[in-house]
Amino acid sequence: MHKLLVLYPEPHNRAEFAEHYETTHLPLVQKLPGMLACRYSLDLSGQDEQSGYFAVFEADFEDNDALGRALSSPEGAAVQADVPNYATGGAIILDYPVINA
């Protein structure tokens, strides 16, 4: 399994972030080909202006190639193009293979 992880620093306006993220961005994400599952939270522990991150998103793919195909698809392009519309604090994007212990 391969995981995509997106960390969102504090946005300029939390309510505007949440509204756009849940009503516009997540429906785009749901269309990513090959995505096995996804989850997110806008309620991180220690959430305040000093905690560093406001939100987190995780998505699972079969492998790195599946993630690459998803991100290079038209649906992936739409997801990536939408990020500046709500992530006014930026976004930290990581991906990695999952190793079960």
**Per-residue pLDDT reduced to its tens digit, 40-53:** 999 887 655 566 78
Low-confidence ranges of the chain (pLDDT < 50): none
Q: How many helices (H) and strands (E) does the chain have?
A: 4, 4
pTM: 0.91
Q: Indicate the CATH number of 10-87 among 2.60.120.260, 1.10.260.40, 3.30.70.100, 3.40.50.300.
A: 3.30.70.100
Predicted confidence at residue 47, as pLDDT, reads 55
How many alpha carbons fall within 13 Å on the CB side of residue 2? 15
Predicted confidence at residue 41, as pLDDT, reads 96
How many alpha carbons fall within 13 Å on the CB side of residue 5? 9
